[in-house]
Amino acid sequence: MKPTTKIRFTEPQIALVMRAHPTCNLDHLTELSFEFDQAGKIIDCSGTIKDGGNIDHDYTGSGLARLYETARRKFTTRQTSATILQFPNGTGVTQDKLLAQVWFALAASQGSETASINRDRLEQIDTSDIADQIAKAVAGDLEAQRNLAIRLYNGEGIQRDQGAAFLWVKRAADGGDAWAQTTFAIELRKTKTAESERESVRWLSLAADQGDPRARFNLGLQQLLGTGTSVDLESSAVKIIMASLAGIDEARKCFDDVRPAFHENSWERVFNRVKWSLLTIVMGPLVEGHLDGIRQLQETDDGSDNALWLEYERKSAETMFLGEGSPLDGAFGEQVIVKKIFVGRAIVEGKLVAAITINLRDIVLKDGFPVYWKPTHDGMNAAAAMIGYLQAREWVRYSYLSF
């Protein structure tokens, strides 16, 4: 029997085609295979219909034609992607051993003994960093699974294969990786079926519970639009604000657009549910020759809440930050008003210093609305430099904590 090449499309790959061409009549197929002889002549085409599908449904239209075009290209260029699964003589038909190793690994994890043998054989002859990453991914390393998915999707050091990338994302999502759960949910949502949209909400909720800002933003969008879940404007606002506070620029732009649609009476409830970020500015030691008495009191701190050096730091911070004309204006890109600060002790590099902590709910715009976005890195560096100059400090540093 002459060897043949079978090119198989799995359900995720069929879904990719349907996203690009929504009118394709492939929605009831779970797989489809084309088999070619060595000359490239097609000798068989077969598929599997989903449970409940209509066996009399016409699957021979534009969808099938598009998959066939893809299969022909893959056969002609001898490029193995997620479609080539036949390894008749144990050595395989792919010229990309790394990609073959990826698919052998996936098949082995599903219980294929032959695939496991071939995967081990390829691991022995390939010592590249990707081969090592594949081995770690197979062993259940979530970071390796995530990185392997990204490299497969982008074709970084290995032949690009979106189908394989999708499956490794799913594997990492099943293992609890928040990034993978969010990415998998977004891919599910793209299919635009009611079932997949509901499932995407479940995955986004799992990732959002772990604090993933992308998950919060996407879940907030779906709650806003009623995609896969009921409309919940307040929960949507909470999640979009928290995603914006975590640095998701799209979340801020989205909230800028939808904010006018919310009733004023709802904001207090929303604000109480938001876990607001904390901005901490650490005031380094005073330079030598400037207020040496305060510096000496700081170095011999008695630990009391009313220590004179700490009282000095509180008064200085209140003068610097409270009210209008805050040095934080540039960091937020708008005029802001700081309503409340907390000044306490911190140890940095073995030295006792003052730390000013501000809850972002206490930094408001001119209309009294709290800032709901992360300050820029360059803006905060500029603010720290200005504070250090005005306060005669050896250094000033900052940290930003989002939840």
User: For 261, phi and psi rounded to 5 degrees?
Assistant: -80, -10
The pLDDT tens digits of the residues spanning 337-350 come to 999 999 999 999 99
Q: Transcribe 312-347 into DSSP letters.
A: HHHHHHHHHHBBSS-TTHHHHTS--EE---EEEEEE
Q: Which of 365, 372, 334 is nearest to 252 (CA)?
A: 372
Determine contact, residues 116/108, Cβ cutoff 8 Å: yes
Q: Please report the pLDDT score of residue 120 as a whole number.
A: 53
Mean pLDDT in residue range 28-50: 80
Q: How far apart are CA 102 and CA 149, in angstroms?
A: 10
Residues 6 or more apart whose CB falls under 8 angstroms from that of 41 comprise none
Q: Residue 125: its pLDDT value, please?
A: 41
Check residues 57 and 348 and name the one with the higher pLDDT: 348
148, 141 in Cβ contact below 8 A? no
Taking residues 372-395, report their average pLDDT.
Answer: 97
Model confidence over 14-38: pLDDT tens digits? 776 666 666 666 777 778 888 887 7
What is the per-residue pLDDT for 61? 61
CA distance 152 to 158: 6
- Residue 243 has which token pair? 């995603």
The confidence score (pLDDT) of residue 118 equals 45
Q: What whole-number distance in Å separates Cα of residue 59 and Cα of residue 29?
A: 9
pLDDT at position 286: 95
Which residue type occupies 227? T
- Write the CB contacts of 83 (distance below 8 Å, at least 6 apart in sequence): 7, 8, 9, 10, 13, 70, 71, 74, 163
pLDDT one-digit tens code per residue, 114-171: 445 444 544 444 446 788 888 899 889 999 999 999 998 888 888 888 888 888 999 9
Mean pLDDT of the chain: 84
Q: Which of 99-108, 114-123, 292-301, 384-393 has the lowest mean pLDDT?
A: 114-123
Q: What is the average per-residue pLDDT within 205-209?
A: 98
- Distance between CA 381 and CA 165 in Å, rounded? 38
362 pLDDT tier (thresholds 50, 70, 90): very high
Which three-class secondary structure state does DSSP give residue 247?
coil
In the structure, what pLDDT confidence band is assigned to residue 9 with cuts at 50, 70 and 90? confident
DSSP letters of 135-195? Answer: HHHHTT-HHHHHHHHHHHHHTSSS---HHHHHHHHHHHHHTT-HHHHHHHHHHHHHT--HH
392: left (phi over 0), alpha (psi -120 to 50) or beta: left
Per-residue pLDDT band for 325 (boundaries 50, 70, 90) equals: confident
Cα distance between residue 35 and residue 41, in whole Å: 8
